[in-house]
Amino acid sequence: MNIVKIIFFILMLTATSFAEKIDVVKHTSPGGLVDRMNEVIAKSLGDNFGQFIQVKNCVQAVKVIEKHKGKVLTAWPTEREAKGNPCNLENKFLLSTFSNSPYHITYLESNSEASDIDFLTNGSEVIVGVWDSNFWAPPQTAFLQSINPNIKVVRYKGKPFRTALASGEIDYKVVSFPGQDPVIAIMDGKHLNTDHKFSNMGYSMMFVGNFDYDIARVYSIVEWQDRTDSTHQPWMPDLSKDEQINRVEDMLSAITEMDN
């Protein structure tokens, strides 16, 4: 009996040590939102996690995902699937939608004028800062100007964006994670100009890889529950993969058409 137990134990050990590890591709700057999500994905793999494959940009990440001999997973900003983006992945690598956070319109606490929603919707000189992205800035601009044609939209790159509110040159800032700044409105399709096609818009990510992996495992771990980017929620988890991809394609087409 003991021999059987020992053989069983050895077989178990062998099976564990030869189980194929799963790698996670890191393709964005360390410390950013996507990078943090990739950390969570790695945690969800437990003992099956192999290593992080770090690449310099998303073009190199595409090559890893398409050609890697082992199994790989990663979080993937949705706009990369837009037409013309050099980081497009074939649909077969899109495992599911991952997370989405509606854009929040924030202001500086000491700015009493901006704390009144009427100023945003009816003010004669309102300046709103958005992240300088060729993909997201145009629909954000279209939506903001639909609620108040007097709104001027200014694009900011990362570092100056952080103190733009404090400098006083903008009244509001559009961000997916508001941090400590007070929020005047959320672009979740329930508050401002609900008829507008971009009233429900947020920063989103897909879950991609070269094998099937259930995203629910990521949502179930404690690191996901404790994430600091709490406005980022599971994105369309109840839909089938085909439905998710169709919705994403519709969204990307609507934005791309507007850009053109």
Partner 1 sequence: MIELSLVFVFGILAGVFAGVLPGVGGVVIMTLAFPFLMQIDPASIIIFYVTMASVDQYFNGITAIVFGVPGASMNIPTQIEGHTLFRKGRGSEAIMNSAVGSFLASLFAVGIVLLLLPVMWTVYGIWTSVAQAALLGMACLVLVGLARNRVLVNALFFLFGGVLGQVGYSHERGNSFMTFDMDILYSGLPTMSVLVSLFVIPVLLNSYKKLPGSFDFPGVDFKGYKNTVLGIKRFWSTLFRSSVLGSFGGLMPGMSFGFSSILAYISEKAIRQKKKVYRQGDMHSLIACESANNAGVFTQLVPLLFLGIPITASEALIYTILESRGLPVDIEWFKSTFDQVLLFFVASSVIGLFLSARYVNFLQLFNGLAIQKIYLMIVVILFIALWQTGASQYAGFDHLVIALALVPLGLLVHKLDTTPLLFGFLLSEPLLDNLKRILVIYF
Q: Which residues bind partner 1 (CB under 8 A)?
A: 29-32, 35-36, 39, 54-60, 63, 84-86, 110, 127, 132-135, 152-157, 159-160, 162-163, 166-169, 179-180, 226, 228, 259
Query: The tokens of 159 are what?
Result: 């570092």
Query: The tokens of 46 are what?
Result: 């437990």
Q: Which is nearer to partner 1, 165 or 186 (CB)?
A: 165
**Cα separations in angstroms, 195 against 12, 32, 126, 185:** 58, 33, 22, 16
Closest approach of Cβ 205 to partner 1, in Å?
15
Closest approach of Cβ 34 to partner 1, in Å?
12
Beta strands in 71-119 (DSSP E): 71-77, 94-102, 104-106
Sequence-separated (6 or more) residues with CB below 8 Å from residue 243: 236
CA distance 111 to 121: 16
Contact 192, 94 (CB under 8 A): no
Closest approach of Cβ 212 to partner 1, in Å?
27
Query: The tokens of 89 are what?
Result: 């992945």
Q: Which is nearer to partner 1, 19 or 166 (CB)?
A: 166
Closest approach of Cβ 10 to partner 1, in Å?
32
Q: Which is nearer to partner 1, 52 or 191 (CB)?
A: 52
Q: Which is nearer to partner 1, 7 or 183 (CB)?
A: 183
Neighbours of 7 (CB within 10 A): 10
Closest approach of Cβ 59 to partner 1, in Å?
4
Q: Which is nearer to partner 1, 96 or 171 (CB)?
A: 171
Neighbours of 46 (CB within 10 A): 10
